[in-house]
Amino acid sequence: MSKTKIGIIGTGGISDYHMRGYIADDRCEVCAICDINEGRAKEYARKYGIEHVYTDYTEMLKREDIDAVSICTWNSLHASLSISALNAGKHVLCEKPMAINTKEALEMEKAAGKSGKLLMVGFVRRFGNDARILKDFIDNGYMGEIYYAKASYLRRNGCPGRWFGDKKRSGGGPLIDLGVHVIDLVWFLMGRPKVASVTGVAFNKLGARNNIKGTKGYAEAGLGNLFDVEDMAAAMIKFDNGAALFVETSFSLNIKKDCGNIELFGTKSGARLDPDLEFYSEQNGYMVDVTPALDTRLNSEGLFESETAHFIDCIREGARCISPAEDGVEVMRILDAVYESASTGREVVV
């Protein structure tokens, strides 16, 4: 079988991770890239040895030799680019968040169904070794009924700058950029229950903190001054099976250090991923802590390789996608509900 030909739209930082994944997989080949910044696109093409460079994605999508595309642009373009690619007969791996609202996400899902092509959402945390091992324990009944969870993704001074602070392009701040990771991971591990109601808050008290001296842990080139998104958000999410999730996320928060962890609480045991995996249970009348004798830490270097490999598996082998469009829609409903609750001050019934 010939190699699966890939096109990448958007050559910002996240596209490097997609590219590395494709390079590591000898079943596929990136044959074209597109970016509205011609200089950056050409530099990217030289870096990775890509022959075909475009500034107009519609021209790139006309190529009959392209089987699939990765969408790696700012969030407000995810829907239009994905729909255009699907309509052009291409499979799509779209970076998270799926879109900037549920309406757009539903339009994307509809386009995928009409085209018969795969629309996979880049929920990359699902592909971590830590998630795989924890899910194996859950699926085999080790935790019993999971009825409550907590998730945090907090940065002390971590606004990436540029379009991340522009609501028109990003759709929001840390909730839609960072919180989406842990919300999706916990929801996935809990068995993907339907969301029932959401109560959320969002603040913009500290802003982008461009006045702070020193470097940020992660930043797009050129911080910029626009910041009209939240700098911190928190929510209580209730599901139709009675379970609940509390989540908090920030770009800027007066904490000692950045943190990102999840905790799940079941009738048989609890679990914490931070980044090592531990279980908390009882045996023989004693409280016990259990650490699997495996590497359960988050391996960020291998996440995207696993994600893109799964994308290729789905295209070539017909594998069942573990990060389908329908999941992106449900997570988008949660994000929309948090923002609505935060703006109205009321619980949102979904």
Written as tens digits, the pLDDT of the chain (350 aa) is 799 999 999 999 999 999 999 999 999 999 999 999 999 999 999 999 999 999 999 999 999 999 999 999 999 999 999 999 999 999 999 999 999 999 999 999 999 999 999 999 999 999 998 999 999 999 999 999 999 999 999 999 999 888 999 999 999 999 999 999 999 999 999 999 999 999 999 999 999 888 888 766 666 654 457 899 999 999 999 999 999 999 999 999 999 999 999 999 999 999 999 888 999 999 999 999 999 987 766 655 689 999 999 999 999 999 999 999 999 999 999 999 999 999 999 999 99
73-85 b/e with 16+ CB inside 10 Å = b? bbbbbbbbbbbbb
Question: Are 296 and 276 within 8 A, CB to CB?
Answer: yes
Question: Are 172 and 334 within 8 A, CB to CB?
Answer: no
Provide the CB-side half-sphere exposure for 335 (13 A, CA): 32
How many degrees, rounded to 5, is the angle at CA 16 between CA 28 and CA 64?
A: 40
Ordered domains of the chain (ranges, CATH): 4-123+303-321 (3.40.50.720), 126-298+331-349 (3.30.360.10)
Q: What is the pTM of this model?
A: 0.95
What CA–CA distance (Å, rounded) separates 124 from 318?
Answer: 20
Question: Which pLDDT value is given to residue 222?
Answer: 47
Strand, coil or helix: 291: coil
Question: Which pLDDT value is given to residue 219?
Answer: 64
Q: How far apart are the first and last CA of the chain?
A: 45
Pick from 170, 150, 166: which is nearest to 246 by CA?
A: 150
Would strands 348-349 and 244-250 be described as parallel, antiparallel, or unpaired? unpaired
| The dihedral sign for the CA sequence 72, 263, 249, 108 | positive
Task: Please state, in angstroms and as integers, the Cα–Cα distance from residue 65 to each residue in 25, 88, 89, 93, following that order.
Answer: 18, 12, 11, 17
**Preceding peptide of 275 cis, ω within 30°:** yes
Per-residue pLDDT reduced to its tens digit, 215-239: 666 666 544 578 999 999 999 999 9
Task: Please state, in angstroms and as integers, the Cα–Cα distance from residue 90 to each residue in 17, 115, 246, 333, following that order.
Answer: 20, 9, 37, 26
Strand order of the sheet with strand 68-71? 52-54, 28-34, 4-9, 68-71, 91-95, 119-122
What CA–CA distance (Å, rounded) separates 209 from 207?
Answer: 6
